[in-house]
Structure 1
Amino acid sequence: MTSLWQARSHLFNDRTAGDYHRRLAEGLRRVRDRISRVDRPFTGITPTQLAARIGRVDLDRPLGGAAAALDELEELYLRDAVYFHHPRYLAHLNCPVAIPALLGELLLSSINSSLDTWDQSAGATFIERRLIAWTAARIGFGRGADGVFTSGGTQSNLQALLLAREEAAHVSEPRVLTGAAGHFSVQKAAKLLGLGPESVVVVETGGDRRMRTDALAAELERYGGAVIAVVATAGTTDFGTIDPLPEIADQCALSGVRLHVDAAYGCGLLVSPTRRHLLDGIERADSVTVDYHKSFFQPVSCSALITRKGGDLRHSAFHADYLNPARVAAHLPDQVNKSIQTTRRFDALKLWLTLRIMGADAVGLLFDEVVERASQTWELLADDPRFEVAARSALSTVVFRFLPDEPELADQANRYARKALSASGAAVIAGTRVDGREFLKFTLLNPETTIEDVADVLDLIAEHAARYAALILEEPHVPA
C-alpha cells in the first residue's frame, strides 16, 4: 500500500529538486544512448506485435522506480519508435528537431505555465506575444496584427474559418473556396463549424497542382456574396506547391472576400535567405497559418494563427469571471480571449530559445537545404526511366511512382514497395493518390539526408516493386 508520504515524494518542488535532476538525467541518458544506436528509421514491428506487448502491462501495479519504468519503456516505445532524425525517414511533414527547442521543451514542461491568463504565466505571456509580433512582421503585416499559438495547422485553420464565419454572420448559405490540393482540415473545419458539407467549394488546380485563378474567378462569380473566405495554400501537403498568392489576393480584394493562407508547411520560407519571394502576396492575407513544427525544426506542437487585424480575434472571446474579470482584463494581457483553447502550453518558449541561440538565419539555411535536396531528387527521378515523377515542388516534397514493365501492375507494385520498405525498416516513405493512381512520396525535411541516401532508397523501391511484379505474374494471388 502506497503511503501519502510516498505519493508526495513524486511531486516536483523544492524538496524533490535533486530527485527531479537525477531522474531527468537518466531519461536524457537513455534517449542519448538510443539515438546514438539508431541505424534505421524504423524497426518494422507490426501493430499486432506492439499492441500485444502494451496490452500485457498492468497499469494498476506500478513498477515503483524510474529505472524499472525506463527499462520497460525501452521495450514498449524507444526501441520501436519512428525516428524522424534518421536521414532515410522520408515520409511525412515531420522534421528533426533543434536542440535549443528541446531545451525549451524541458523548461516549459517543468515549470508548467498555462498561457490562458496573466496570473498563470507572467513573462511567458509576453514571450508569446513578442513571437506573434515577430512572425507577423516576417509575413509583412502591420503593427495592428495579432495572433495566438495553437496546437497545429488543423486548429489554426479551424479558428481562421471561425473568424471568417463570424465576420460574415449575415450570410445565410456561406461558401468557402479552396484549392483541390489544399489540406483536408478546411473541410473538417467547415463540418465542425456547422457549415454543412456543401459549404466548401473545391477550386480546380492546373497541371502544376496550383489553384487556377480562372477557376477561382468563376466560382467567385457563381457564388457572389455567399463566399465568406478563400483559402489559399502556401505549401500543399502532397506536392509542396504554392498557390498564386498575388493573383488570388487581387481577386479577393476585387470581390471583397476574406483571404486565409494556409502556410503551415511553407512558413519556413519566411526565414529563407534565398526563397522568401515565393511567398510574395502573403502580406495581403487576412489570416495566415504557420506551423513551426514543420518548417522551423521545432518539436510538436508549435504553431500559430496570425491575423492582419488584431480585432478579428474578438470572435474567439468569451467572458468568464474566474478567468477574465473586467477589472483585470482592462490592464493586463488576456490570451484566453484570443484562443479557442483555455489551458495552453508555453510552446512559444521552444521557438524563442531557437531564435535566441541559433538565430532565424540558421533556421532559414536549414530549410533552404531541404528544398534544394528535393530539387535534386526531382531531377534524379526525371532522368530515371524506372520512375514517373509528378508536379515539381516549390518546397521539399517529391511525388513519383515506379513503372513496371506491366503498366497494369503499377498501382499494386508501388503499394507493395512502400509496405515492404517499411517492414524492412530500411526507410520510411509516404504514399498518396494522384488522379486516381497510386503514387509514392518523399517529404524531405532533414538537412542530413543526402542525395546518395535518396538514390539508395529509390533502388530499394525499384527492387521491391519489380519483385512484386515478377511474383504476381507467377502467382496472381500475391497481396499488394
Structure 2
Amino acid sequence: MRSHLLNDTTAERYRRTATAAVERVADKLAATDRPFTGITPEQLAPTFDAIDLDRPLGDTTAALDELESVYLRDAVYFHHPRYLAHLNCPVVIPAVAAEAVLSAVNSSLDTWDQSAGATLIERRLIDWTASRIGFGASAGTRLETNADGVFTSGGSQSNLQALLLAREEAKATDSAKLRIFASECGHFSVQKSAKLLGLSPEAVIAIPCDNDKRMQTVALARELARCTSEGLVPMAVVATAGTTDFGSIDPLPEIAELCQLYGTWMHVDAAYGCGLLASRTRRHLLDGIERADSVTVDYHKSFFQPVSSSALLVRDGATLRHATYHADYLNPRRMAEERIPNQVDKSLQTTRRFDALKLWMTLRTMGADGVGELFDEVCDLAGDGWQLLAGDPRYDVVVRPSLSTLVFRYIPADVTSPALIDRANLYARKALFASGDAVVAGTKVGGKHYLKFTLLNPETTLTDIAAVLDLIAGHAEQYLGESLVHAS
C-alpha cells in the first residue's frame, strides 16, 4: 500500500498517474457538445449502489475508467457556452495548474511551520486585494494603513466572519438588541450567519430595493433611526456589490455615510462583483467600497478561479483578533509576540488549503488586466442580451444588468392566467435541463417564477443566448399546448 503514497520513490508513478487523469479530463472537455447529459438522480443512483467501496479496484487506470461512468460522463460542464445558470465560471488554466501543485505539496495554511512561502503568498495577495479595494488610501476621514484579511472557503464563510467581527465591535451587553440591515435582494448567508452567531430571529432587517434592485437608502436611514430610537443597536449594514439574482450594486457611498453617522459596521458582500476590482472600464461601479469595514470577495466567481477561492478583507487588521484563539500545540501566544506569521490567528478554519496559489499563478501569468478583460466581456454580453430580451415580445426582462445577470420570463401573448404562465416557465426550465441542451437558473420576483441567465463564460455568444431563448419558448409552448388540450 505504501506504493500509493506520494514521495521521492513514487514520483515517477505520480507523474504517469497525474498525466493520465489530465488527459482524461482534457479529452472530455474537448468532446463535450452540451453542458449536461440530462441524466436523472434515479437513473444514476443504481450505478453507485452497485459499487462496493470495501473492494478496491487496486489500479488507478481501472479507477479512472470507473470515474468516467460515475462522474465525468454526466458532470455539469461550466465551460460549455450554453451553461447559463448559476455563479459558476469556467476556470483559467494557470489556476488549474496551481491546483495540481497545491494538492500534491498539500501545505496547510494554519501555521508558518506548515506553510513557509505559502503563507507569504497568501499575505501578499491579501495586500494586493486590499489595495485594489482602496484600503490603505484615504477612507472617509481617516488614513488606513493596516488593512488585512484571510482566504476563506467562500462568500458564506466570509460573510459569517465579517458579522462576527461586527458583533464584537458593537460591544453590546445585550445581544438581543443587535440588528443587521441588509437588502431584500441580499444573500441568504446574512440570515444564516445571524443564527449561527446566536442573534435573535428579528436581528436581520430587510431593506426594500428600488426598481433597479438596489437598496433604498431612504428606507435604510428610516430603519436605522427607528432602531436607535427604540434602544436597539445597529450592529452592521450589509451592502451588496452584485446580488445573486440581479447583479445589482447597492449605493455604496450613501450607505457609507449612514454607517459613519450611526457608528455602524459597514460590510460589503462583493462575492460576485469583485471582478470589477480588475476591470479597467467598470471599476467606478464599486466607488465607496473603500469606506467599508469589511469586504467579501469570491475569486471563484468573477476572477475565473476553481472552487474554492475566496477571502475576507478588513480595513483595520486589528479587528481580526476577534477570531483569534491561541492553542499551545499550534499557535501559542509567544509566537505572536515573536511575530511568527500564523494565518490561523485570523481564520475561522484551522487546517486550510493553499487556495491562494491559484490566484497567484493567475496574476503572474495573465495579470489583473487579463482577468478584468474576461469579466468585462461577460458584462458586455449581458448588456447585449438585455437588448435582445427587451426587444423580444415573448419575454419580460426585469432589470437592465449592472454585471452579467439577466432575469426574465416567457409571457405568451394569448395566455392571461398567471398560474399557467408560472407553470410554463417552470416546465421550460426543467425540460431544458432534462434535454441537456442548455442549463439556466430560476428565481422568484414578486412571487412569480422567472428564469435567469448568469453569464460568466466569455465563450458564450449572443447567438447562444438567442438559441437558448428559442429553446425555452419551444418548451413553454409545448407545455401550454398540452395544457389547453387537457383543459378542453
> What's the TM-score once normalised by structure 2's chain length?
0.96
Task: Give the alignment of 1:150-189 within 5 angstroms.
Answer: 150-172=152-174, 173-189=177-193
Aligned match of 1:52: 46
Q: Distance in 2 between the 1:323 and 1:338 partners?
A: 14
CA distance in 2, matches of 1:235, 1:377: 18
Question: What is the CA–CA distance in structure 1 between the aligned matches of 2:332 and 2:378, rounded to whole Å?
Answer: 48
The residue aligned with 1:406 is 415
1:71 is aligned, of 39, 44, 65, to 65
What letter matches 1:115 in structure 2? L
Q: 1: CA distance between counterparts of 2:298 and 2:217?
A: 26
Residue 141 of structure 1 aligns with which residue? Answer: 135
1:365: which partner in 2? 373
The equivalent of 2:141 in structure 1 is none
- Does 2:231 correspond to 1:227? no
**TM-score by structure 1 length?**
0.97
Q: CA RMSD in A?
A: 0.9
Structure 1 distance, partners of 2:467, 2:11, is: 48
CA–CA distance in structure 2, aligned partners of residues 476 and 275 of structure 1: 51
Give 1:334 shift. 1.6
2:285 equivalent in structure 1: 278
Provide the residue aligned with 1:451 in structure 2: 462
- Give ranges in structure 1 of 5+ residues lacking alignment: 1-6
Residues 107, 118 of structure 2: 8 Å contact kept: yes
The answer to whether the 8 Å contact 2:265/2:293 transfers is: yes
Equivalent position of 1:352 in the other structure? 360
What's the offset of the Cα at 1:327? 3.1
2-structure distance, mates of 1:350, 1:215: 41
> Does residue 197 of structure 1 match 2:206?
no
Q: 1:112 aligns with which of 106, 120, 124?
A: 106
Q: 2:172 touches 2:233 (CA, 8 Å); kept in 1? A: no
| TM-fit CA distance, 1:196 | 2.0
Give the Å deviation of 1:171.
4.6
**Residues 173-197 of structure 1, C-alpha deviations (whole Å, 9 max, x = no match):** 1000000000000000001111021
Contact 1:87 1:446 in 2 (8 A): yes
Query: What amino acid is aligned across from residue 38 of structure 2 in structure 1?
Result: G
Partner of 2:89: 95
Q: Take 1:397 and 1:10, find their aligned partners in 2: how far apart are those partners?
A: 45
Pairwise mapping of residues 219-258 of structure 1 onto structure 2 (< 5 A)? 219-224=223-228, 226-258=233-265
Following the alignment from structure 1 to structure 2, what is the Cα–Cα distance between the partners of residues 219 and 470? 48
Q: Is the contact made by 2:300 and 2:308 (CA closer than 8 Å) also made in structure 1?
A: yes
- Which of 453, 456, 460 is the aligned partner of 1:442? 453
Q: Which amino acid in 2 is paired with 1:228?
A: M
User: Do the aligned residues in 2 keep the contact of 1:271 with 1:360 (CA within 8 Å)?
Assistant: yes
In 1, Cα distance between the equivalents of 2:187 and 2:291? 21
- Would you say the 8 A contact 1:87–1:453 is kept in 2? yes
State the 1:331 CA deviation. Answer: 2.4
Whether 1:287 and 2:323 are equivalent positions in the alignment is no
Partner Cα separation in structure 1 for residue 91 and residue 361 of structure 2: 13
Indicate if the aligned counterparts of 2:85 and 2:439 stay in contact, CA closer than 8 A: yes
User: Which whole-Å CA distance do the structure 1 matches of 2:242 and 2:98 have between them?
Assistant: 27
2:383 maps to which residue? 375
- TM-superposed CA distance for 1:476, in Å, is 4.4
Q: Following superposition of structure 1 onto structure 2, how do residues 252-271 of structure 1 map, counting pairs within 5 Å?
A: 252-271=259-278
Listed one character per residue, the Cα deviations across residues 191-246 of structure 1 (whole Å, up to 9, x for unaligned) are 11110211000001111110001000001001125110000000000000000000
1:418 maps to 429
CA shift digits 1:129-187 (9 cap, x unpaired): 00000000000001310000000000000000000011113252100000000000000
Contact 1:42–1:425 at 8 Å: present in 2 too? yes
CA distance in 1: counterparts of 2:299 and 2:201, whole angstroms? 30
Q: Partners in 1 of 2:200 and 2:379 — Cα distance?
A: 37
Residue type matched to 2:104 in 1? S
Q: Secondary structure at the match of 1:248?
A: helix
Structure 1 residues 416-439: Cα deviation after superposition (integer angstroms, max 9, x where no partner): 000000000000000000000000
How far apart are 1:284 and its partner, in Å? 0.2
The one-letter amino acid of 1:384's match is D
Q: Show the counterpart of 1:4.
A: none
- Deviation digits for residues 82-115 of structure 1, max 9, x if unmatched? 0000000000000000000001100000000000
Whole-Å separation in 1 of the counterparts to 2:249 and 2:324: 32
| Higher mean displacement: 174-183 or 317-326 | 317-326
Give the equivalent residue in structure 2 for 1:469. 480
Equivalent-residue separation in structure 1 for 2:172 and 2:442 (angstroms): 42
Give the structure 1 partner of residue 332 of structure 2. Answer: 325
What amino acid does structure 2 have at the position aligned with 1:406? V
For 1:323 and 1:179, the matched residues in 2 are separated by 40
Residue 84 of structure 2 contacts residue 440 of structure 2 at CA under 8 Å; is this kept in 1? yes
- Residue 93 of structure 1 contacts residue 294 of structure 1 at CA under 8 Å; is this kept in 2? yes
Secondary structure at the aligned position of 2:4 is classed as coil
1:25 equivalent in structure 2: 19
Total equivalences in the alignment: 471
- The structure 2 residue matched to 1:129, chosen from 123, 142, 152, is 123
The one-letter code of the counterpart of 2:74 is: D
Cα distance, 1:255–1:424 mapped onto 2, change above 3 Å: same
Instruction: Give the equivalent residue in structure 1 for 2:315.
Output: 308
- Per the alignment, in what secondary structure is the counterpart of residue 457 of structure 1? helix
| Secondary structure class of the residue paired with 1:148 | strand
Secondary structure of the 1:318 match is: coil
Preserved CA contact (<8 Å) 1:171 1:226: no
Is the contact made by 2:89 and 2:300 (CA closer than 8 Å) also made in structure 1? yes
Cα distance in 1, alignment partners of residues 222 and 215 from structure 2:
12
**Contact persistence 1:286–1:309 (CA under 8 A):** yes
